[in-house]
Structure 1
Amino acid sequence: MKRHVLLSVAAILLLSRPAWAAPAATAPATQAQSAPAESVQVRFDAWPKDHLFETDALELPTRLVNRSDRPLRGSVRITLAEYRPNEDGATIETRQQEVAPPAGASVDVPATFRPKQPGPYEFRLELTAGGTVVRRIETALLYQPSRWTLPDLEPKDFDEFWARTLAEMRKSPLDAKYSEPKDRRLIPEPFREVSFNGLGGRRIRGYLGIPPGLRAGQKAPAILSLPSAGYHSAAVQASALERGYVFMAISIHDLPFGGESGRTHPREHWFAEEYQGIGRQDKETYYYRAAYAAGPRAVDFLRSLPEVDPARIVVTGFSQGGSLALATAGLVRDVALAEASIAGRSRMDLLTFAYKANMTLAPPPGMTAREMFEKTLAYYDVSYFARRIRCPIVMRISLDDPINPGPLQYWAFTRIAHSSDARAIVAPWLKHRSPPDSQGVVEAMRRKYVTGDAATRPAK
């Protein structure tokens, strides 16, 4: 069962003068008599808070509120455009209206569109005063998302590839090794550094904490935290131990820890090539093969610990970590709960151009972007892992994320078909941040599916 959780994300934008706007001293005299742009609010109160529209007509009304003691004279242009991640999509339709709200008053600006296809679109609003565009607002929306479709490009041997990958990895024993953190000022007690065997001889490294008050014979629930992009492990959370969880934060890199946070890999160990693109010529050699396998292996490790209840493991992550959480839940289908925030790597056939600035996902010589997707990236696309998720799951989605495009985050959520409880917390305006006030939903899911009335319980 899927649910959308609506949060009270403010749908009010205060119009401030952008850096590129003409200075007030050089603006036409008529603008000096008008309300200043910074005193005008644009409100989206009539919109769904999550910007998901299931109606036949796409009603996009806005309200301009003049909070100054002078009238506002200008015009508003509203555009519906194609949605294209990280670039401007082509204009579909435009509406324009002159506005003149008196001081302290408001004016409604209606705009109705009837797109031909369900899916993501971009809304643009321009406020012009005195002949100058004083502010532009852009936001993504989804029109009839329940009817949105994309071509299915899942490889036929997707399951075989990952079953073979995990079987290959599990031929090696875990061979866990523990050590003290290099700097206890950065990594608190009782966390210890741990490493164990992953895929292809790579060690999975991270930090493990056991609740100090755990009694003999008790098995605690566990949280596996997967890392965002970069050269570090996920953050260590001592508060999880206080709530009775075993907590492990891992890195996907077999590199020594150090640096200012204690959980980063020092720069001298970074790879010459951006790791997101290493081995992208083939699914067998792609760097993320071992990275995606690290999540299931970390679950294996946690289940090997006498302090952990193997049936009560949570996998969680933000950004790249959210992608890894989806992959882990798709590969280990009996985890208790998955939490994926702002997950990227969804429908990478539509994304490859967005990464060309740092060449991490530009096709290698002799290969087109489509060939790279079909030969490699499709095997790592989280929307295909989402199809295989069986556990309860909560996804936090930022619809205006320019890094992991929000509509494609939502697409991955729509692929979840077999979870008994799949929830999406969707919010606009937040860029690459999780929806605020969403932790309460996450904690409620943990209480329902992981901890029950207490954080630990006697071993069976």
Structure 2
Amino acid sequence: MPLTDLTLEQCLALRPELDEPADLDAFWEQTLLAARAAGGTTRHTRVDTGLTQVVTYDVAVPGFAGEPVRGWLHLPAGADGPLGCVVEFLGYGRGRGLAHEQVLWANAGYAHFIMDTRGQGWSTAGGDTPDTATLNGEVPGFLTRGLADPHDHYYRRVFTDAVRFTEAARAHPAVDPARVVVTGISQGGGISLAVAGLLPGLAGVMPDVPFLCDIRRGALIAGAPPYTEIAEYLRLHRDRTGTVFTTLSYVDAALLAARATAPSLFSIAMMDEVCPPSTCFAAYHRYGGPKDLRVYEFNGHEGGGGHHRREQLAWVQRLFHTPHLATAPDLATLHDLRPA
């Protein structure tokens, strides 16, 4: 598989200028205030997965406009006292899946919340989280839903769901609210960066090959969906380019990442044609808190796979048990990224 974008050296030197809306902070402050004011009750219903070492709950959390957002909560069986917690957001087109499928973090001794993504995935025994907005995109997918106005855009609803879901995780009696990390792959990585920028007080963030970063560049150079949905839309609507990218700037995770303060562990794959590495590096370089990075030079959108899960497990363990890591320096130098 060839390089799909810039070289590693070029990406390390990259400092793109992104168009940031003057009212970006006010836009999100008002959005989140409205969601919190909508109220609603979080519900946890225990489910039988057939597993004996993990206890699982079907979760419903009030999200955007108070609408219920589904998810799973996994807890290590017999756990005592408030736990460190990993909140996970999912990849594009993927729902929360079956209750027994993703139990790595609970097996490592942490509370693990998994958020369903509205309108994505398939029906499970507990049902999905529907996207209740009447606006639909003119190109299949989610990126073109509500492109005429940032207030209507699909990811305004998703990012709000994610903030509220993380707040619900921090409020759970089994969770230590000072030890909550957010994470996700691809779309989930972009969502985790947005949450880190919008919700102070997180312990950490782990975005893997993140989507929704430097969205305009992604639309120009990505060789595979979902960014190609934007290019296809604009191929049909030649006169809407300005409006489209103005709307998308309000949900660009690279812009929101600049507001984050929590320690972070990024992963980026240099042969990724879905989320080109230069777009991921745009978020990495703009990230506002301490940051560390793992680069997978010969991988595509699968990124580091199990090797990176091992890196994450070690990173979270150090983070939760070594407080001084919160002030760790930026480790992303070429020397750090390549073996001696």
TM-score range, shorter chain: 0.7 to 0.9
How far apart in 2 are the matches of 1:274 and 1:396?
Answer: 25
CA contact (8 A) 1:316 1:338 kept: yes
How far apart in 2 are the matches of 1:369 and 1:252?
Answer: 27
Q: Does 1:175 align with 2:41?
A: yes
The offset of 1:251, in angstroms, is 1.0
Q: Does 1:442 align with 2:312?
A: yes
Secondary structure of 1:204's counterpart equals strand
Tell which deviates more after alignment, 354-363 or 198-207: 354-363
Which has the larger strand fraction? 1
How far apart in 2 are the matches of 1:187 and 1:265?
Answer: 25
Distance 1:413 1:234, change over 3 A: farther
How far apart in 2 are the matches of 1:300 and 1:352?
Answer: 32
- Corresponding letter in the other structure for 1:167: L
The offset of 1:150, in angstroms, is 2.5
- Corresponding letter in the other structure for 2:251: Y
Q: Does 1:415 align with 2:286?
A: yes
Residues 277-288 of structure 1 correspond to what in structure 2 (within 5 A)?
Answer: 277-288=144-155
How far apart in 1 are the matches of 2:54 and 2:127?
Answer: 18
* 1:88-111 alpha-carbon deviations (Å, 9 max, x no partner): xxxxxxxxxxxxxxxxxxxxxxxx
TM-score by length of 2: 0.80
Partner of 1:299: 166
The offset of 1:237, in angstroms, is 3.0
Secondary structure of 1:388's counterpart equals coil
Partner of 1:69: none
Residues 375-386 of structure 1 correspond to what in structure 2 (within 5 A)?
Answer: 376-386=247-257
- Corresponding letter in the other structure for 1:192: Y
Distance 1:254 1:345, change over 3 A: closer
Distance 1:335 1:185, change over 3 A: same
Partner of 2:82: 219
Residues 152-191 of structure 1 correspond to what in structure 2 (within 5 A)?
Answer: 152-179=18-45, 181=47, 184=49, 190-191=55-56
CA contact (8 A) 2:32 2:160 kept: yes
Secondary structure of 2:92's counterpart equals coil
The offset of 1:425, in angstroms, is 0.8
How far apart in 1 are the matches of 2:175 and 2:129?
Answer: 31
How far apart in 2 are the matches of 1:342 and 1:232?
Answer: 18
Residues 342-357 of structure 1 correspond to what in structure 2 (within 5 A)?
Answer: 342-353=209-220, 354=222
Total equivalences in the alignment: 308
Partner of 1:20: none
Say which one has the larger Rg: 1
The offset of 1:325, in angstroms, is 0.7
TM-score by length of 1: 0.60
Partner of 1:402: 273
How far apart in 1 are the matches of 2:177 and 2:227?
Answer: 42
Partner of 2:73: 208
Partner of 2:113: 248
Match of 2:14 among 148, 161, 165: 148
Please give the root-mean-square deviation of Cα atoms over the aligned residues, in Å.
3.2
Partner of 1:40: none
Secondary structure of 1:162's counterpart equals helix
How far apart in 1 are the matches of 2:200 and 2:97?
Answer: 22
Residues 65-80 of structure 1 correspond to what in structure 2 (within 5 A)?
Answer: none
Distance 1:239 1:426, change over 3 A: closer
Secondary structure of 2:301's counterpart equals coil
Q: Which has the higher contact order (CA 8 A, sep 6+)?
A: 2
Secondary structure of 1:362's counterpart equals helix
* 1:322-363 alpha-carbon deviations (Å, 9 max, x no partner): 111111111113110100101011111223355586568724
- Percent of aligned pairs with the same amino acid: 23
Partner of 1:340: 207
- Corresponding letter in the other structure for 1:378: S
CA contact (8 A) 2:269 2:297 kept: yes
CA contact (8 A) 1:362 1:369 kept: no
CA contact (8 A) 2:95 2:121 kept: no
How far apart in 2 are the matches of 1:281 and 1:434?
Answer: 33
CA contact (8 A) 1:233 1:264 kept: no
CA contact (8 A) 2:192 2:206 kept: yes
Secondary structure of 1:400's counterpart equals coil
- Corresponding letter in the other structure for 2:311: V
CA contact (8 A) 1:231 1:253 kept: no
Which has the larger helix fraction? 2
